[in-house]
Structure formats: C-alpha cells, structure tokens
Amino acid sequence: MIFLNVELFGSKHIIGLIAVIIFSIILSLILDKRRKLSDYSVLIIFLITFYLLEIFKIGYIMYPSSTYPLYQLPLHLCSTPLYLYPLIVFFYKSNFVQRYVMPTAFSVVLLAGILALAIPTNIIGSQETWFPLKDNILPIISFVYHGLMIFSAIFLLKQRIYRFDTKDIFNVMVLSLAFTIVVMFVNDVLDKDFMLLNKGTGSPLAFILEQSKPLYIISMILSFTLLIFLVFQITSLFIKKDVKNPAVQKIKS
C-alpha cells in the first residue's frame, strides 16, 4: 500500500489530475474520429488495457522478490473493471450483463475512479514531485488506470452502450453488495483491508473504527449508497438537459 505523504491537491496531485484530463481529451478526440473501429472493439481495448495495467503494477511490485503481495489481490473497489469488462465483452447480449453489469460498469467504476483521483491517499506515492519518473512508476500506473476507469464509464453512457435508467440503481446495489460480502469474507480470512472495510486505511471514516467496527462498515456501505444515488441523480439531470436541447437532438438524429 502506498500512503499519502504529499499535500492533498498540492502541486503533484494537481499536475497528475491535469495529465489525466489531457490524456482523456486526446483519447476522446481519437475515438471521435475513428472510422473502422466499432464500439465493441473499443470495449475490448478497455478490457485489455485494464489487465495490462494491472499486470504491470503487480510485476513491478513483485520485482525482484518474486513474491505476490496479498494486499494487491483484485478485491478493491477499483478492481471492479477487471470483473465487469470480461462479462461485458464475452456476454454482451445476456440479460444479466445488460441489467446488472452495464449499470455497475458505469456508476461504480465512475465513482471509484473519481474518488481515487480526488482523494489519492493510497495511490499518489511518497515522492513530493513526479520526477524522477522512475520513483513514481506505481503512481503513474494508478493515475492512468483510474483515469481510464472514468473515461470508460463515460464512454458507455456517451455511446449509449449503456442505456441509462434511474431504476438501475437497485441492480447496481445488489451486485455491489454481493461483491462487498465476498470482500469482507476475504478480509476476515487474510486480515487484509480490501475496500477499506477492515482497517480503514486511508478512509475518511476511519475514526468510526475507534467506536465500533460494525458501525464503521455500515457507515461505509451507507456512504457508498448515497454516492451511487448522487451519480444516478446527476447523470439523470444531464440526460434530461440533453433531451430538452434541440441542438443535441439534431446531432443525435
């Protein structure tokens, strides 16, 4: 785990965010001008890229000890693309993917990416600047990974691969709670802190652990539910605005 030793929204943090924004704009421009590359092909690229970044990260951590770090098991909230995108790519037309996986790939992946970059407690590293780059390999991988999470979620919505429906929030919570139960079980068995649900490492609600662990877990789940609700409400407002905008309607027609 990489702990925050630099200023939140300090120069390193802001430069990292700017780099992610520039990366997203360039990628968006490239995809907007594509001719032969289908949306489905882009989803495959997302899948491959997520896995490549994860492999690079694990490989870098394991070198030179060749020991797999158990705390890096893909059971963090930001690991969800590693499970969701194979389902999307290989079972795209299935009812389960359309009803549960797609809305989760939009809302949870978007929320997790935003939270990680807004509060990069465990990903920004210990160096105060981005140079030398060799001392920031893991933060660079993490910022690119989480930036791609946000970009891929917006891509699903923008291209209407995911057909937004506010009622989908219930399906998202069902799938998210199922994942949470698995994570809590693994935390208990391995004494790890996946999804910050055991030791609260880097969690803004960690102070509740001093009072009660069950209360902390409930608070985390309720906070997550509230944030997912906000994602759906804000998205709904944007979509309604687009629908009412004649210029947008003309472009989409």
Local confidence band at 248 (pLDDT 50, 70, 90 cut-offs): very low
Top pLDDT among 126 and 208 is at: 208
Local confidence band at 34 (pLDDT 50, 70, 90 cut-offs): confident
Mean pLDDT of the chain: 91
Over 90: is that where the pLDDT of 27 sits? yes
Given the structure tokens 């687009």, which residue do they identify?
242
Q: Residue 217 has which token pair?
A: 């877990």
Local confidence band at 242 (pLDDT 50, 70, 90 cut-offs): low
Q: What is the pTM of this model?
A: 0.91
Over 60: is that where the pLDDT of 52 sits? yes
Q: What does the domain layout of the chain look like in residue ranges? A: 11-240
Maximum Cα interatomic distance, the chain, rounded to a whole number of Å = 60
Per-residue b/e over 95-112, b at no fewer than 16 CB within 10 Å? eebbbbbbbbbbbbbbbb
What's the pLDDT tens digit per position in 149-189? Answer: 999 999 999 999 999 999 999 999 999 999 999 999 999 99
